[in-house]
Amino acid sequence: MKPTTTLYFIILSFLFNLSSLSAQPVPAIDENIPYLVTFGGDGDTAWGDDDFCQIIFFSIPENYDRPIFIRVSDPDTGSDIDEQKGEWDTTTRFSVYGGDGTCSEEDARRSNLQGNYKSGNLLASKTFAGNPRYNKSWYTFGPFNPTEGELLPEYGGYIFKMIIEGIDGDDGNLYTLFLTTESDENRPVEGAFAFYFKYKFRLHNDVKEVSHIYPYMTSDVIAIKQSNFDWDSDGSIRIISPAKNGEILAASADDEWVESRHAITEDEHNSSLDIQMIKRQSPMVKDNNVVIFLENQYGELMPFYSIPIGGIPEYKYSIGIKPKQ
Ligand SMILES: [Ca+2]
Ligand SMILES: [Ca+2]
Ligand SMILES: [Ca+2]
């Protein structure tokens, strides 16, 4: 690990300890994203899922020693919130991994599902089809002992990985997750948070809603490349940071990838970016599922965090109007 990265995580651990209440649901409260989405393995990518798999990591502070649970709301496909194509015929497998390699394995931090991305020990797995019992209600994985995770202080503690795979069918499974101290209740684990390298979710059906994601810029980042899929030309994606007052990211049309590169300046180091997703005002794009990921100049994927590290960034006019030296 690079020295700068180590330093960054020391700072990061401190900042994470300051805030936890909004960090436990995925999507997170500060993200204002209604649902995660995974389509069945026979899905049509034009509906907004490029590879029918989602990977979410959870970080538990090293000093936390009580059992934890990961709960899934609406894990089945066939409910009010899911997206039907023809008959309901979709099954989805949720699997929880911990132990060596869970997150340290490079293949688990990529975007292409190649190699050993199912790294670590399989701790629990369950496959859901359609089941009215789970309509907008919760299924609980666990209890897990925090030490069953992979200890990675640079990622804030013990790391667990949930892989959500669309197996059969072609419908869209919409769901949310919650990391909790209780099996039957959503109660945050103090100091814990979630992070994800490639994020697939549903945008709001209300054009006034703005969704957000929060990557963190370490001091070694000089440029980022963002890639997104099937945005359906739904409005604009922009960056708010100390030095950027709404720099526009390329947004994709139907069933296509686009990417754009953005320079990162010193003023943005050790700060989160607020990547805002502003929907097209008219006509409204309904039930829009999208995919997005971010790479640094080395081609490494950069995590989005369920809490904006260091707080939600604001544009600083004094930086923005600074003349070039
Ligand atoms: Ca569902
Ligand atoms: Ca179907
Ligand atoms: Ca879409």
Is residue 15 over pLDDT 80?
no
Ligand sitting nearest the alpha carbon of 134: 1
Looking at every residue in the chain, the average pLDDT score rounds to: 93
For the segment 86-96, the average pLDDT, to the nearest whole number, is: 98
Residue 3 binned pLDDT confidence (cut-offs 50, 70, 90) = very low
Output the CA 67–ligand 1 centroid distance in Å. Answer: 26
Ligand sitting nearest the alpha carbon of 230: 3
Q: Please answer whether residues 275 and 237 qualify as being in contact, where contact means their C-beta atoms are separated by less than 8 angstroms.
A: yes
Is residue 94 over pLDDT 90?
yes
Is residue 7 over pLDDT 50?
no
| pLDDT at residue number 87 | 97
Output the CA 253–ligand 3 centroid distance in Å. Answer: 8
Ligand sitting nearest the alpha carbon of 285: 3
According to the 3-state scheme, what is the secondary structure of the chain? Answer: CCHHHHHHHHHHHHHHHHCCCCCCEECCHHHCCCEEEEECCCCCHHHCCCCCEEEEEEEECCCCCCCEEEEEECCCCCCCCCECCCCCCCCEEEEEEECCCCCCCHHHHCCCCCCCCCCCEEEEEEEECCCHHHCCCEEEEEEECHHHCEEEHHHCEEEEEEEEEECCCCCEEEEEEEEECCCCCCCCCCCCEEEECEEEEECCCCCCCEEEECEEECCCCCEEEEEEECCCCCCEEEEECCCCEEEEECCCCCCCEEEEEEECCHHHCCEECEEEEECCCCCCCCCCEEEEEEEECCCCECCEECCCCCCCCCCCHHHHCCCCC
By residue count, the chain amounts to 325
Among 290, 291, 241, 235, smallest CA distance to 262 is for 241
216: left (phi over 0), alpha (psi -120 to 50) or beta: beta
For the segment 133-141, the average pLDDT, to the nearest whole number, is: 93
Output the CA 227–ligand 3 centroid distance in Å. Answer: 14
Q: How many CB atoms lie within 10 A of CB 151?
A: 16
| pLDDT at residue number 149 | 98
Chain segment 172-226, per-residue pLDDT in tens: 999 999 999 999 999 999 999 999 999 999 999 999 999 999 999 999 999 999 9
| pLDDT at residue number 324 | 54
Output the CA 197–ligand 3 centroid distance in Å. Answer: 19
Output the CA 55–ligand 3 centroid distance in Å. Answer: 19
Ligand sitting nearest the alpha carbon of 131: 1
User: Does a cis peptide bond (omega within 30 degrees of 0) precede residue 132?
Assistant: no
Output the CA 175–ligand 3 centroid distance in Å. Answer: 17
Output the CA 53–ligand 3 centroid distance in Å. Answer: 16
| pLDDT at residue number 8 | 54
14-23, 72-81, 265-274: least confident range: 14-23
How many alpha carbons lie under 13 Å from residue 102 in its C-beta half-sphere? 27
48-57, 92-101, 130-139, 265-274: least confident range: 130-139
Residue 318 binned pLDDT confidence (cut-offs 50, 70, 90) = confident
In angstroms, the CA 4 to CA 302 distance is 15
Q: Please answer whether residues 74 and 174 qualify as being in contact, where contact means their C-beta atoms are separated by less than 8 angstroms.
A: yes
For the segment 105-123, the average pLDDT, to the nearest whole number, is: 97
Output the CA 4–ligand 2 centroid distance in Å. Answer: 48
Output the CA 40–ligand 2 centroid distance in Å. Answer: 8
User: Does a cis peptide bond (omega within 30 degrees of 0) precede residue 27?
Assistant: yes
| pLDDT at residue number 325 | 52
Output the CA 240–ligand 3 centroid distance in Å. Answer: 23
Ligand sitting nearest the alpha carbon of 174: 1
User: Which residues, by Cβ under 5 Å, contact ligand 3, an ion?
Assistant: 48, 230, 232, 288-289
For the segment 51-80, the average pLDDT, to the nearest whole number, is: 97
Ligand sitting nearest the alpha carbon of 76: 1
| pLDDT at residue number 317 | 87
For the segment 21-27, the average pLDDT, to the nearest whole number, is: 78
Q: Please answer whether residues 262 and 224 qualify as being in contact, where contact means their C-beta atoms are separated by less than 8 angstroms.
A: yes
Ligand sitting nearest the alpha carbon of 84: 2
Output the CA 171–ligand 2 centroid distance in Å. Answer: 5
Output the CA 137–ligand 3 centroid distance in Å. Answer: 26
Is residue 118 over pLDDT 90?
yes
Is residue 290 over pLDDT 60?
yes
Percent with pLDDT over 70 in the chain: 91
Is residue 319 over pLDDT 50?
yes
Q: Please answer whether residues 161 and 118 qualify as being in contact, where contact means their C-beta atoms are separated by less than 8 angstroms.
A: no
